[in-house]
Homo-oligomer: A and B are copies of this chain.
Amino acid sequence: MKQQLMRSSMEELAKIEQVGKPRVVIVGGGFGGLELAKALRDTNMQVVLVDKQNYHTFQPLMYQVATAGLEASAIISPFRKILKDQDNLSFRMAEVLHVDTAAQVLKTSIGLIHYDHLVIATGATTNYFGDEEMARHSVAIKSVEDAVELRNTVLSNFEKALQVGDREQLNSLLDFVIVGGGPTGVEVAGALSELRKHIFPKDYRDIDFREMDICLIQSGDSLLKGMSKEASEKALEYLQEFGVKVLLDRRVKSYDGYTVTLNTGEKLITRTLIWAAGVAGAPIEGIRPESIRKGNRYTVNVYNQIAGYTNVYAIGDIAAMITEEYPEGHPMVAQPAIQQGKLLGENLTRQLAGEPMRPFRYHDQGAMATIGRNHAVADLKLGGKEWKTQGFFAWLMWVFVHLIALVGFRNRLAVFMNWTTSYFSQERGSRYILGKRREPVPAEDPAASKVVA
């Protein structure tokens, strides 16, 4: 076997040093990075995909995992499975520590990776705007692990609530405050209100769920900023219909894990504050700071080249391509990332063939958000025409679009079955407390000689 191993190592080395084959290293396997990797499939390039997880995450359905609607496994798919037929690609599970753009080498948690072309597709991370206390006490929904933690925390709260007599303590466990009225905030608030109506009262018959408040706090005067007035208004109407308390024009001043203080002086009590108020790019150390702009995004040109470089690119949320139409860069959602990944794949191929690259132009297909079963809002752009719809039809479209987009047939089918089942039965299957959860300060002395059942 030893000889065999030597041969295998030699082959690996030969593969790595394939002379003349330009090597593209992609950091981050989100929508943009994955699309780029696929676009380079039948080219004469070596591709290395680096990600700190071994799976791709379908982010738009993360809120479903957080609210026990879908299992974590339904929205993730291992990179090695997705890309198994791509012979020119190597995957490396690693954290990127630093890039040396002069030497063209990435320093990672597992060692060095050389590149000819580097593509940064690290996406965005939760932005607490420097508020350390908020970062420590609140729950975010930016990764699958976050989402699972939130699910476990919500369910554990109710298990604890059964033992609590004091009314304020009880409400601190039952009430939820969501900060941020974008799609994630709206979707989580809607999903929680559905759980309150259909699931929790059956699971916890001893709790009076009229005590459970769901508060959504939005700094501006409307929800879903960036969508149409019709969509914003209808989303507000649906949420209020579902019993969500929407507080507009408010900001959270502080949160200590128990009391939320707003800029208006109002106070709310909750042990679970869900932070969906902001994201910022996740830049890599070693790129010149002059290229980083507001929100930690890289300034890129129309070819997604980072300002000051010709062989270092950024795509997706981390890239800010400033145009007349998008003076702040494109919205930080899936579509620009996917389209940039695809075009960059073509452009790298063109470069290699000595052809000129083509500038990026965003094809905005519109936006959607779902508030709950049968209730969604959609602003669609089809062939230059705008089309706005809200309600059942928008919801059907939302389901259809998300099923189509989900990675991998098996996941698609599992999600579809999950949804079909839960649609007809009003049931949610993923109500496990499995894995990490936040332990709030004990509501009462656990060793208290108190009868709990």
Interface residues of A (CB under 8 A from B): 1-2, 4-5, 8-9, 12, 15-16, 25, 48, 50, 53-55, 71-73, 76, 78, 80-81, 84, 90, 92-94, 108-114, 144-145, 148, 155-156, 159-160, 162-163, 165, 167, 170, 202-204, 206-208, 210-211, 408, 410-411, 413-414, 417, 421, 427, 429-436, 446, 448-453
> In the bound complex, do residue B93 and residue A159 qualify as a contact, i.e. CB atoms below 8 Å apart?
yes
Residues of B near A452 (CB, < 8 A) are: 92, 94, 108, 110-113
Complexed CA–CA distance, A108 and B450 (Å): 10
> In the bound complex, do residue A54 and residue B12 qualify as a contact, i.e. CB atoms below 8 Å apart?
no
Given the interface pairs A48-B453, A112-B449, the reply to whether A144 lies near B81 with Cβ below 8 Å is no
Q: What are 30 sample pairs from A and B whose C-beta atoms fall under 8 A apart?
A: A5-B170, A8-B206, A8-B208, A9-B165, A12-B206, A15-B206, A48-B453, A53-B433, A55-B431, A55-B433, A72-B432, A73-B73, A73-B430, A76-B432, A78-B203, A78-B431, A81-B429, A90-B206, A92-B452, A93-B159, A109-B446, A110-B160, A111-B448, A111-B449, A111-B452, A112-B449, A144-B434, A148-B435, A408-B429, A410-B429
Complexed CA–CA distance, A448 and B110 (Å): 8
> In the bound complex, do residue B114 and residue A433 qualify as a contact, i.e. CB atoms below 8 Å apart?
no
Residues of B near A71 (CB, < 8 A) are: 71, 73
Residues of B near A112 (CB, < 8 A) are: 449-452
Closest to A444 in B: B111
Complexed CA–CA distance, A65 and B202 (Å): 29
Complexed CA–CA distance, A397 and B357 (Å): 60
> In the bound complex, do residue A93 and residue B433 qualify as a contact, i.e. CB atoms below 8 Å apart?
yes
Complexed CA–CA distance, A93 and B155 (Å): 11
Complexed CA–CA distance, A250 and B15 (Å): 43
Distance to closest chain B CB from A113 (angstroms): 5
Which of B1, B148, B160 touches A211 (beta carbons < 8 Å)?
Answer: B1
> In the bound complex, do residue B90 and residue A453 qualify as a contact, i.e. CB atoms below 8 Å apart?
yes
Residues of B near A203 (CB, < 8 A) are: 78, 80-81, 84
Residues of B near A427 (CB, < 8 A) are: 81
> In the bound complex, do residue A55 and residue B12 qualify as a contact, i.e. CB atoms below 8 Å apart?
no
Closest to A105 in B: B451
Residues of B near A159 (CB, < 8 A) are: 54, 92-93
Given the interface pairs A48-B453, A159-B54, the reply to whether A5 lies near B435 with Cβ below 8 Å is no
Given the interface pairs A4-B210, A446-B110, the reply to whether A54 lies near B9 with Cβ below 8 Å is no
> In the bound complex, do residue B448 and residue A54 qualify as a contact, i.e. CB atoms below 8 Å apart?
no
Distance to closest chain B CB from A98 (angstroms): 11
Complexed CA–CA distance, A206 and B91 (Å): 10
Additional pairs, 13, CB under 8 Å, beyond known A16-B453, A73-B432? A1-B210, A25-B453, A53-B434, A54-B159, A72-B434, A80-B203, A80-B431, A81-B431, A94-B452, A110-B446, A111-B449, A410-B421, A435-B436
> In the bound complex, do residue B80 and residue A204 qualify as a contact, i.e. CB atoms below 8 Å apart?
yes
Residues of B near A90 (CB, < 8 A) are: 206, 453
Closest to A12 in B: B206
> In the bound complex, do residue B167 and residue A432 qualify as a contact, i.e. CB atoms below 8 Å apart?
no
Residues of B near A12 (CB, < 8 A) are: 206
> In the bound complex, do residue A446 and residue B111 qualify as a contact, i.e. CB atoms below 8 Å apart?
yes
Distance to closest chain B CB from A255 (angstroms): 24
Given the interface pairs A92-B453, A433-B54, the reply to whether A5 lies near B414 with Cβ below 8 Å is no
